[in-house]
Structure 1
Amino acid sequence: MTVELQEKPLHADLEAARGNAQAAGLPYAGSVTPQQAWALHQAGEAVLVDVRTGEERKFVGHVPDTLHVAWATGTSLTRNPRFVRELEAKAGKGAALVLLCRSGNRSAQAAEAAAKAGFAQVFNVTEGFEGDLDEAGHRGLRNGWRFHGLPWVQD
C-alpha cells in the first residue's frame, strides 16, 4: 500500500524561488530572502528550520518559535549524520521548509541533502542569520536576518 502526501500549492514566493532554482540548476527547491522567509513563516506557508549548532543559537541568537535541526555540531562543525532523519521527524517530507544558518552556505548544503533524501519543498534562506563577511571580516554589517531587523532573541 502506497501513501501519497497531499501537498498544498506553494506560495508565490516559493514558486518563484523554485523557477529560479531550476533555471540555475540548483539541486534543491530554491532560495528565499530573510524577509521572505519570515513572511512565509508568519503566514504558515513554510516552516522555518534553524540548521546552525546549538551553541550558535544560544550565544549568537535565534529566531523565536522555529524548529532546530543541526546540520553540524560543536565548534568543529562535525556533520550531523542524523540530520535528514531528524528533519523528517520534526517537520515531515511534505512540508515547505526554509532552512536558515549563519550565512546561507550550510543551509544550502542541508537543503541539498534533504532534497536528495526526498524532501521536495526545501528552500535555503540566503544571507543567513548573520550575513556575509564585510571587507574587515565582520558579519552583520552587510546583510542577514539580524541586519534586516527581523525578530530574534538571545540567551
Structure 2
Amino acid sequence: MEKRFYFSFLVIICFNLIFSACSNSDDDGDVNDNSEQITQVENTVESGTWRITNFIDSGENETSDFTGYNFSFNSDGSLVATNGTDTLTGTWSVTDDSSGSDDDIDFNIFFPVPDTNDFEDLNDDWDIISYTSTRIELIDISGGNGGTDNLTFEKN
C-alpha cells in the first residue's frame, strides 16, 4: 500500500512539472524578445537628421505643419526639432510593448508643449509599421475615438 502511494505521488509531481513547463512557453516556440529590433531602430534614427514626409491625423493631412523642420533623435533620449528659427526639444524612446495581444515595439515621442501646439499631435506611443535606413513609418489607432494617425519620417 505504501509503495502505491509513493508511486502515485511521484506520477502526480511529474505531470505537474510537465504541464507547468508547457504553459510557460509560447505556442509557436518564439521567444518574445524584441531587444535586437529595438536596438536596430534606435541605431537607425540616431544616425543623421529626419523630416516628416507624411502626417495624417484622424484622416486630416497635417504634413505641412512640420514643413522645414529637421528632427534629431539623440542617443541621450532627447528629440530636437528645428527649422532654423524655432527649436523645440522633447524626448523619444523605443520600448517593448508586450502588454496586448500583439508583441510589438513602441516608438514614443513627447514634446512638452500646450495642447494648441502642432507638435502636441506627435506625442504618442506609435507602433512601427516598417523601417529602413532612410524611412520609418508609424501608426497609432486611438483607443478613445478609433481614429487612425499615420506618421512617416524620412532621412535628410
TM-score by length of 1: 0.27
Bigger proportion of residues as helix: 1
Say which one has the larger Rg: 2
TM-score by length of 2: 0.27
Higher relative contact order (CA 8 A, sep 6+): 1
